[in-house]
Structure 1
Amino acid sequence: MEADRPTIGEYTLTCKLGGGSSSMVWKAEHRTTGKVVALKQIDLLKLTRQLKSCLDCELSFLSSVKHPNIIRLFDVFQAENSIFLVLEFCDGGDLAAYIRDHGRVQECVARKFMKQIGAGLEVLSMHHIIHRDLKPENILLSTMETDPILKIADFGLSRLLNPNDLAETVCGSPFYMAPEILEFKMYDDKVDMWSLGAILFELLNGYPPFRGRTSVQILRNIKASLRLPFFEPILPQLHPGCVDLCSRLLSIDPEKRISFKEFCQHNFLKIDEGGDKSFC
């Protein structure tokens, strides 16, 4: 019964969707309209100066954009030493769950997903925002039905990075972190390109490109790799452009890594789908 459910502001919390060290995400309903939303609760007492800066960036960016491939921010309010972000609820869950349920996807599906994530990243690029935590868990699907719309979410580690500037904070999720971050080096927006490559690789293979028990082991595996560890049986089925894009996104040297502009112009993303509307 609704009376037994906790309420925050104008919302009734229905279930917990996830969370981290300083935040929690709830599925919630507006008590008057019944609108279903995702409510991100951020504990202000647990925010470091760095995380407070990231939160400011997240709020500023999300409140200024409206794009189908970026999670929508509807409202912000404060209560109980927390700030609450009222966000669009995505019924399809996240891309990590999608990969767990479906396994590796067909190349045409991976291409459609890359185009959508790329469209979202274009908005970040226009605002000089780097995400720094792109991973399947932070890519949400609008629906569980056929042909979902993908939305980039969780900008809790994002920051403004103007052209020619560099960042140095070590952050992100190790399986999707660029090697320059793992090596505690200065970095630019190409760290998001590495993460995008790791997502593409995982879509095609069903597992991340580089794994390990620790960040040190992951970095060692990256450096020891002579070629990407594709699942051998699928390689003959992949378009050469697909393998090329994946390899260029996952270039260890950021100078040689493909830029966002080059990603958008890559021929793999321009392959005609032949009018197929059945989502492969």
Structure 2
Amino acid sequence: MKKNFYQSIPKDLKWREDDIIIQSQFTKENDKVCHLLGFNNYIVYMKDLQQEPKKYIKLDFDIKFEILRENVVKKSDDDDSLGQIKGISIIKDLGNETIIQKKYFGGERLIKQWREFLSNRINQWQFHQMFRVYKKIGKGNFASVYLAQKIEDSKKMAIKAFSKQAAYAEENGKEAILNELKIMRQLNHSHIMQMYEVYETQNSLYVALELLEGGSLYDLIKEKTLLSTTQIQQIMVGVLQGLNHMHQKNIMHRDLKLENILFKQQRKMDSVVIADFGLATKVDEPVYLYYRCGTPGYVAPEVINIKDVKGHYSEVCDIFSLGLVFYLLLSGKQAFPGKSYGTVVKQNREATIDFKIKQLQQAPSQAMDLMRKMLEKDPNKRISASDCLKHPFLAEINNQMADDSANDSIDEGDEFGQVATRMNQLNEETIKFDAFRRNAIVNSPGSPGIIDTKQLKQQKIIDSLNQLQMNSPLLNGKIETFDSIPNIGTPKNKKCQNTFQQSPMIKPSQFKQTLPQQQQNQGNPLQKYSQQKN
């Protein structure tokens, strides 16, 4: 029985009323001309622009695409050069290793435009011929992260590879992966980890991610790095700018914590990015895929206390989670300092926070004011991300780090003299607070801004239990050995641990030699890993 590639256009598809994103003329394999009209989530096929179209295809997870290239004669076994782009193939996956496809040919510029359009919506078929894979930099139960370089433009990336069979075997496994990829395709901000493309083979998914070489906030705290107030402000502003971008798109993260706050560059706090969108969701989804989720010690009270499976909350749950991170950065103490999972969950549910601990007594008054507003128990009274960025404690740093004029940090009616006075007062308080913290290091291992290592290890154990939500394949079986690479789609299912297809052939790394010596000496995570594993 012949399988149809396109479907008949249904009467309720008002394609003339939708915005056309891309429209092009192609040549088919039989040399006949056709036209493709690309919309947000479907493509309309037309033989002639003067006639009414009859066929379309919906851009869902079963539709892939592949770039077609001219064949090239390989000069050696190591020659991985690519032929010139000549067309694009749209592929329909029917399951059971059965696919059907349609090939369309056109100029290179045209095909690249369609690649950009499609890669923001569907996965690209095949992977191995497109990348040079140099070494494994992270490993989970049956998922791995590789340092790789895209052959076409030599761009370095982190490739997260995992087994479709293993992930889909999890409860809600496929739905969770679809959700995360869909969320990440909607995000485009300098303070959010970028997902470039998603590749797919018969057995595996390969997620091409921004290579983050600066480690995580957890790494910094673990190393007992004392952050200055200015550095804390930079971290807070960067994360809030990323959250503001998400919240404007009606997306909430729901799992902000130290491990999910990463840096593009070492020791550069303004290079901070938000990572790991395994629990992110649209606020207005009819039913959340996971309704009570997150990590105890970082969860907003309205999330941890929700009882109705069909219940809802808003994006300000992320502000509470970031407020808990803020509390830790300023004081060096967890807001919920229980020594067991049950105690932390109980404290988290009650959301009673002690703002009068000695480590916060000399904190800038404006920092304390912002923290209280972020940790407001009532979500209806809690401050928003955009208002956090306008708060006097962060306004000046926000202006310095702003991507565009959307984040105005000072009200237009505010007189310059009042602003200057306020900033001078804040700077004086900051200088005193930093001096207080530096002096405290000599006398106390639990000094402000330096979280106790035992306490951090205890929180790590509590994190690993993560019993608020155990069903997500994107949350379980985290990648270990390399904290700097974000963890997308790491399923955990003991029955499937041996199903991961053989890793891509790993080539000798050229990056190991090209890193500056100074960067190597400063513990570059890639170099550090190479020294440990080679």
TM-score (norm 2): 0.44
Cα distance in 1 between the residues matched to 2:218 and 2:356: 19
How far does residue 11 in structure 1 lie from its aligned partner after superposition? 4.4
The secondary structure found in structure 2 opposite 1:118 is helix
Deviates more, 1:42-51 or 1:244-253: 42-51
Change (3 A) 1:92 1:253: same
Change (3 A) 1:211 1:17: farther
How far does residue 121 in structure 1 lie from its aligned partner after superposition? 0.8
Cα distance in 1 between the residues matched to 2:281 and 2:235: 24
- Give the 5 Å matches for 1:150-169: 150-162=272-284, 167=288, 169=291
Which of 196, 207, 211 is the matching residue for 2:322?
196
Aligned to 2:135: 14
The secondary structure found in structure 2 opposite 1:176 is coil
The secondary structure found in structure 1 opposite 2:223 is helix
The secondary structure found in structure 1 opposite 2:209 is strand
Change (3 A) 1:218 1:147: closer
1:239 aligns with 2:360: no
Q: Which amino acid in 1 is paired with 2:303?
A: I
The one-character-per-residue Cα deviations of 1:12-62 (angstroms, maximum 9, x if unpaired) are 25234365x7x7451412274664322223443334564534433332333
Cα distance in 2 between the residues matched to 1:209 and 1:131: 20
Q: Indicate conservation of the 8 Å contact 1:73/1:85, yes or no.
A: yes
User: Structure 1: which 5+ runs fail to align?
Assistant: none
Q: Which amino acid in 2 is paired with 1:91?
A: E
The one-character-per-residue Cα deviations of 1:47-95 (angstroms, maximum 9, x if unpaired) are 4564534433332333343321111112211246332211011110111
Deviates more, 1:65-74 or 1:180-189: 180-189
Which of 92, 114, 134 is the matching residue for 2:256?
134
Q: Which amino acid in 2 is paired with 1:209?
A: A
Deviates more, 1:32-41 or 1:246-255: 32-41
- Give the 5 Å matches for 1:66-215: 66-79=188-201, 81-162=203-284, 167=288, 169-185=291-307, 186=311, 187-215=313-341
How far does residue 246 in structure 1 lie from its aligned partner after superposition? 1.3
The one-character-per-residue Cα deviations of 1:221-266 (angstroms, maximum 9, x if unpaired) are 2427352364x14521x21111121122122232332233432332
Aligned to 1:58: 180
Cα distance in 2 between the residues matched to 1:224 and 1:145: 32
Q: Indicate conservation of the 8 Å contact 2:157/2:211, yes or no.
A: yes
1:26 aligns with 2:151: no
The one-character-per-residue Cα deviations of 1:73-120 (angstroms, maximum 9, x if unpaired) are 122112463322110111101111022224342222111111111111
The secondary structure found in structure 1 opposite 2:297 is helix
Change (3 A) 1:170 1:42: farther
Aligned length: 265
The secondary structure found in structure 2 opposite 1:268 is coil
Cα distance in 2 between the residues matched to 1:265 and 1:137: 26
How far does residue 128 in structure 1 lie from its aligned partner after superposition? 0.8
Aligned to 1:38: 158
The secondary structure found in structure 1 opposite 2:318 is helix
Structure in which a larger fraction of residues adopt helix = 1
Deviates more, 1:193-202 or 1:35-44: 35-44
Change (3 A) 1:143 1:184: same
The one-character-per-residue Cα deviations of 1:118-177 (angstroms, maximum 9, x if unpaired) are 1111110121111111111111101114454011111111111139x7856121111211
Cα distance in 2 between the residues matched to 1:246 and 1:55: 34
The secondary structure found in structure 1 opposite 2:160 is strand
Change (3 A) 1:25 1:209: farther
The secondary structure found in structure 1 opposite 2:135 is strand
Q: Which amino acid in 1 is paired with 2:329?
A: L
Aligned to 1:264: 389
Cα distance in 1 between the residues matched to 2:172 and 2:389: 31
Q: Which amino acid in 2 is paired with 1:150?
A: V
Compare CA radii of gyration and give the structure with the larger one: 2
Cα distance in 2 between the residues matched to 1:181 and 1:213: 22
How far does residue 179 in structure 1 lie from its aligned partner after superposition? 2.1
The secondary structure found in structure 2 opposite 1:175 is coil
Q: Which amino acid in 1 is paired with 2:376?
A: S
Change (3 A) 1:166 1:113: farther
Aligned to 1:253: 378
Cα distance in 1 between the residues matched to 2:247 and 2:187: 12
Deviates more, 1:62-71 or 1:47-56: 47-56
Change (3 A) 1:18 1:228: farther
Cα distance in 2 between the residues matched to 1:180 and 1:270: 28
1:228 aligns with 2:355: yes
Q: Which amino acid in 1 is paired with 2:355?
A: L
User: Structure 2: which 5+ runs fail to align?
Assistant: 1-77, 79-126, 401-422, 428-433, 435-534
Q: Indicate conservation of the 8 Å contact 2:251/2:280, yes or no.
A: yes
